[in-house]
Amino acid sequence: MGKILEDSTNNLFVYIYSDDHLPPHVHVFVGKKRSRSDKNIRISIGDDNNAPKILRAHPKIKNSDIHRAWQLVADNQDKLLIEWKKIHGSEEMEERNQ
C-alpha cells in the first residue's frame, strides 16, 4: 500500500504497508519518500481507548517534526485505523485482542 495521508504544510507523508505487523501503526516520512528505508517515524495508531504512541523515530529527525507527526496521527486516528483494517483485515485486529 502507498501513501494514506499527507500534510504538505509540514512536509509529512503517512504510509501503511500491506506486509507490516501488529500493532497497527504508520510510518511518517519527513519529506518525499524515496525508499522504504528512508528515515521515518513509526507511530502506533492506537484506538478509542489509547492515544497514538511513538514506537521509533530515526535519531536524525528533529523533535519538532516528531511532535508534528504524532499530532497528525492523533488528529486522523479514526481514519488511519479504518485504513489499517482495510489493508490488514479486522480478523488480525480481533486476534490481537484475544
pTM: predicted TM-score of the whole model, two decimal places: 0.87
Residue 55 lies in domain: 3-97
At residue 1, the 3 state secondary structure works out as coil
Q: What is the DSSP letter of 9?
A: T
For position 17, what pLDDT does the model report? 93
Q: What is the 3-state secondary structure (H, E, C) of 14-28?
A: EECCCCCCCCCEEEE
For position 91, what pLDDT does the model report? 54
For position 4, what pLDDT does the model report? 95
The cell for 81 is 485505523
Weakest-pLDDT range from 28-32, 50-54, 71-75, 76-80: 28-32
The cell for 89 is 483485515
DSSP labels, 67-98: HHHHHHHHHTHHHHHHHHHHHH-HHHHHHHH-
For position 65, what pLDDT does the model report? 97
Using the predicted structure, report yes or no on whether residue 85 has a pLDDT greater than 80: yes
Band (90; pLDDT cuts 50, 70, 90): confident
**How many separate domains does the chain show?**
1
The whole-chain average pLDDT of the chain stands at 89
